[in-house]
Amino acid sequence: MIGADVVSEESENDPESTDSAPADRHELLAARLLTAVNGALAAAAALGVLTVVVQQNPASYPPFFRAIIAVVYALVVVVALLAQVSSRRTIAVLNGVVSSAYLALVALAWPVLALSGAAPSGQLLWPLTVISIPVLAGVIAWGQAGGWIVLGALGVFIPLLRFAMADFSANATANNVQAFATAVLLAALAGGTLARAQRADATAAIARDAAAREAELAARRTVDVRAQALVHDEVLATLGFAARATPEMLPVLASQARRAREALNALASPPTEAVGADAFRGGLQELARAHGAHFTDASAQDGRAATDIPADVAAAMTGAARQALINTRAHAPDSASNVTLTRIGDGIRVEVSDDGPGFDRDAVAPGRLGIAVSILARLRAVGGRADVRSSPGTGVVVDARWRPTPSTRPVAAAPMGLMGVRDMRLAGALLAAGPILLAAYSFTWLRQPIPAAAAGVALAVAFMILSWRTGRAGNAIVIITSALAVAAVCTMFAGVAVPDAATIPTFAGMWPFVGASLVLGMLCFRGRPVTALVLLVPITVLMVLSAVPGPYPEVRAAAVRAVVIVAVAAALAVSVHVLGRHLERDRASALRASSDRAWLAEVTARAREKVARLDETVGPLLTRIAEGTPLTEAEVRQCLVHEGRLRDGYRAGRLDCPEVADAAARARARGVDVVLIDDVVDREIDGERLERLRSWLVVELDRAVGSFIARILPAGRDALATASSDASSTRFGG
């Protein structure tokens, strides 16, 4: 069997032949990023406990419980490291453990304190109030809804725990509101990022499927064109000459038959590796030498480095050049021919020219296949084009060109944005509630609460402005919200930072500053992280000046919290943006790889089918011709029958059906030269009329003698088709 054992089975068993990237690749990378941020947040919180957090009267928790808290924080950092080498499912499980462990700590905090024998009072340990850690872990583990549930549970548990411990200070209230607001910001960001990553995965899967289908269609067209060109260049010529061979031609025919078999084997084993520029140039040069043509490499004159050429493009270019040279030798044997290789941008151009008598293209018989199949269709199949220029007395120029073009396959996917409109507005409303609540609370512990109320309104308005839309904030939005944040911090000069009831700055008095930092954090999500980091400097300076003459322990704690908020928000914004760009490149690369695999698989399958069909019909004849001995009369008739049937497959169009093919074979077996032509695309024929036309044609073929030609006529003619032979000429009107 020709080519039966040529195609390897490796592609069916090779793991590289399938898409090795996980279906949730975008979500996986986003989860890894968010888990890493959570680990960094836990490390920063632990460092803050050791350095700047001030608690005058912390509750007397037993050492083992404090050790458990430290273990949970260490677990968050370990999970952040493990996530970078774990699957999405494993990351979800690990973050679920983190969130559950933190919830357990908060739930057991009062019972442990009560059972330890110490008075269940005092300030709640600050590590138990950094609720951004379990909330962010909850979003990664269970999605946006899971994060909100964890946030809601902690929003209830922690106030109840403070109530049980009689921890009602203004500092505690401010800390709770700020921790809740920070958790809202991070939960909204994490949920929006994961949701968009999931949509990106789904869209990428759809794009890969569409690209694979397009690649399969392109592969079928490519194989069909290669098969047509191969049959025209090798098989038809072999069968045609064999039917009319003289004894002197037998050695040449045997060699041509063997070459035809090799070409069929090559069809069943499509090339996949790119062809180097030097190898392609050498092949063209050898081809020109074999046909007595002069070769010129104009591409080497521009001094640029040559690039590799896709295997199918190199094969199409070489095949078209070979057919052009064969045509020159057949129709202008005394002319001088040239093959010229030129670079056109990133592509190539091959010109084959001669100074022969030329021809009138309009006068070429419609049944001629050389130019259409072996040259024009070859280049179209690989995304190139070919022009054949000639007129009587001017010679012939075959101009074949190819250059890479951007893929038209769908590659768009959901963008890796920071937050959706709904998530942004929900986060903005929750964040705006925080300063309003603290402003209202200021009426209970400040003698002059009006400045604090003004700060609350300014911050709430800033949150609503920033959350109304998504995307990068314009300059007007930046100016307005920055002014509101600065104005809120300036209210601290009016006794908010150092309330009348205290002699030194309090942490509760710093809430306008921390609220302003949350505004800057939201500005990061609107695509302005650099602006937020720059604005953090003046509002921090204003906060410090409002606390003069000090002391500054509480100021340091507030400053660290604000810096962490803005730094984490900026890092997340930049990281997600970089991640989005990386995923776009990764998606395009995966899409190309998926398309290439689908193309190769379909080319291989289609080529096997084509080779098997040709092997069944002409394989035995090619084997017989390759022996180099004279054919019998029956074998000669078989050559004529198969040659005609193969030609019909290319030019007969709608006339090519089993009953017509059998009638044509019977006529050719009687020695009739049969030509069937359907080269009109503007003539529509319904199924019933087409069946009547084919039945009429079978009758005409069965009584044909000598030569016979049948052709479907263009639209507008009185008849649908004509049939002429040496015996008669008839018209079919339908």
The predicted-structure confidence for 203-212, as pLDDT tens digits, reads as follows 767 766 766 6
pLDDT digits (tens, 9 = 90+) for 484-501: 999 999 999 988 877 767
Q: Which two structure tokens, joined as six digits, stand for 377?
A: 């269709």
Q: What is the mean pLDDT of residues 680-695?
A: 83
pLDDT digits (tens, 9 = 90+) for 524-548: 878 899 999 999 999 999 999 988 8
Query: Which residue, 513, 615, 664, 625, is CA-closest to 265?
Result: 615
> How far is the C-alpha of 188 from the C-alpha of 179, rounded, in Å?
14
- Do the strands 347-354 and 707-712 form a parallel or antiparallel pair, or are they unpaired? unpaired
Residue 430 near residue 155, CB atoms below 8 Å: no
CA 227 from centroid of its chain's CA atoms: 31
Residue 95 near residue 138, CB atoms below 8 Å: yes
- Do the strands 729-732 and 721-725 form a parallel or antiparallel pair, or are they unpaired? antiparallel
* Residues 6 or more apart in contact with residue 204 via CB below 8 angstroms: 25, 26, 413, 587, 590, 591
pLDDT at 85 over 90: yes
pLDDT at 439 over 70: yes
pLDDT digits (tens, 9 = 90+) for 45-84: 888 777 777 777 788 888 999 999 999 999 999 999 999 9
Q: What is the model's pLDDT at position 192?
A: 77
Tell me the DSSP string of 419-467. --HHHHHHHHHHHHHHHHHHHHHHHHH-SS-HHHHHHHHHHHHHHHHHH
pLDDT at 479 over 90: yes
Query: Which residue, 541, 420, 520, 510, is CA-closest to 462?
Result: 520
Q: What is the mean pLDDT of residues 543-568?
A: 86
- Do the strands 729-732 and 347-354 form a parallel or antiparallel pair, or are they unpaired? unpaired
Q: What is the model's pLDDT at position 10?
A: 38
Mean residue pLDDT across the chain: 81
- Using DSSP, state whether 589 is helix, strand or coil: helix
Q: What is the model's pLDDT at position 162?
A: 86
> How far is the C-alpha of 559 from the C-alpha of 51, rounded, in Å?
12
pTM: 0.58
pLDDT at 418 over 70: no
Q: What is the mean pLDDT of residues 391-405?
A: 83
> How far is the C-alpha of 317 from the C-alpha of 339, rounded, in Å?
12
Residue 340 near residue 350, CB atoms below 8 Å: yes
Q: What is the model's pLDDT at position 409?
A: 41
> How far is the C-alpha of 447 from the C-alpha of 445, rounded, in Å?
7
| Residue reference for tokens 């040239």 | 338
Give the DSSP letter of residue 681: S
Q: What is the model's pLDDT at position 465?
A: 94
- Do the strands 337-344 and 347-354 form a parallel or antiparallel pair, or are they unpaired? antiparallel
The helix (run of H) or strand (run of E) holding residue 515 is: helix 511-525
> How far is the C-alpha of 206 from the C-alpha of 498, rounded, in Å?
60
Task: State the Cα angle at 27 between 26 and 30, rounded to 5°.
Answer: 90
Residue 357: is it exposed, middle or buried by C-beta count within 10 angstroms (0-12/13-18/19+)?
middle
Residue 439 near residue 452, CB atoms below 8 Å: yes
> How far is the C-alpha of 118 from the C-alpha of 621, rounded, in Å?
102
* Residues 6 or more apart in contact with residue 26 via CB below 8 angstroms: 197, 198, 200, 201, 204, 413, 416, 583, 587
Amino acid at 555: V
> How far is the C-alpha of 440 from the C-alpha of 452, rounded, in Å?
8
Edge-to-edge, what's the strand order for the sheet holding 729-732? 673-677, 707-712, 721-725, 729-732
Q: Which residues of 284-323 are buried (b: 16+ CB within 10 A; e: fewer)?
A: bbebbeebebeebeebeeeeeebeebbebbbbbbbbbbbb
| Residue reference for tokens 């896709």 | 310
The helix (run of H) or strand (run of E) holding residue 479 is: helix 475-490
How confident is residue 13, by pLDDT bands cut at 50, 70 and 90?
very low
List own/partner pairs for 404-411 with CB under 8 A and 24 or more apart.
Answer: 404/346, 404/347, 407/591, 407/592, 407/595, 409/207, 409/210, 409/211, 409/214, 409/215, 409/591, 409/595, 410/206, 410/207, 410/210, 410/211, 411/207, 411/211, 411/587, 411/588, 411/591
pLDDT digits (tens, 9 = 90+) for 315-345: 888 888 888 888 888 788 888 899 998 888 7
pLDDT at 411 over 80: no
Tell me the DSSP string of 290-320. HTT-EEEEGGGGS-PPP--B-HHHHHHHHHH
Considering only residues 409 and 422, tell me which one the structure prediction assigns the higher pLDDT.
422
φ, ψ dihedrals at 707, nearest 5°: -120, 150
Percentage of residues in the chain having pLDDT higher than 90: 20
| Residue reference for tokens 């800057």 | 520
Q: What is the mean pLDDT of residues 289-311?
A: 75
Q: What is the mean pLDDT of residues 408-414?
A: 40
Q: What is the model's pLDDT at position 15?
A: 36
φ, ψ dihedrals at 722, nearest 5°: -125, 155
Q: How many CA atoms lie within 13 A of 439 on its CB side?
A: 20
- Using DSSP, state whether 49 is helix, strand or coil: helix
CA 623 to each of CA 244, 607, 637: distance values in angstroms, whole numbers, following the listed order? 17, 20, 16
Residue 587 near residue 201, CB atoms below 8 Å: no
Give the DSSP letter of residue 713: P
pLDDT at 681 over 80: no
Residue 723's DSSP bridge partners are 710, 730
| Residue reference for tokens 């400045």 | 451
pLDDT at 436 over 60: yes
Percentage of residues in the chain having pLDDT higher than 70: 82
Q: What is the mean pLDDT of residues 609-637?
A: 83
How confident is residue 698, by pLDDT bands cut at 50, 70 and 90?
very high
Residue 344's DSSP bridge partners are 347
- Using DSSP, state whether 264 is helix, strand or coil: helix
How confident is residue 90, by pLDDT bands cut at 50, 70 and 90?
very high
How confident is residue 635, by pLDDT bands cut at 50, 70 and 90?
confident
pLDDT at 694 over 80: yes
Q: What is the model's pLDDT at position 405?
A: 65
Considering only residues 595 and 559, tell me which one the structure prediction assigns the higher pLDDT.
559
Q: What is the model's pLDDT at position 75?
A: 96
pLDDT digits (tens, 9 = 90+) for 572-621: 788 777 766 766 666 666 666 666 666 567 667 766 777 777 777 888 88
Segment of 99-108, 112-121, 389-398 carrying the highest mean pLDDT? 99-108
Tell me the DSSP string of 529-581. HHHHHHHHHHHHHHHHHHTTT---HHHHHHHHHHHHHHHHHHHHHHHHHHHHH
Query: Which residue, 499, 611, 504, 513, is CA-closest to 558?
Result: 513
Q: What is the model's pLDDT at position 305?
A: 53
Q: What is the model's pLDDT at position 213?
A: 67
Q: What is the mean pLDDT of residues 451-457?
A: 93
pLDDT at 412 over 50: no
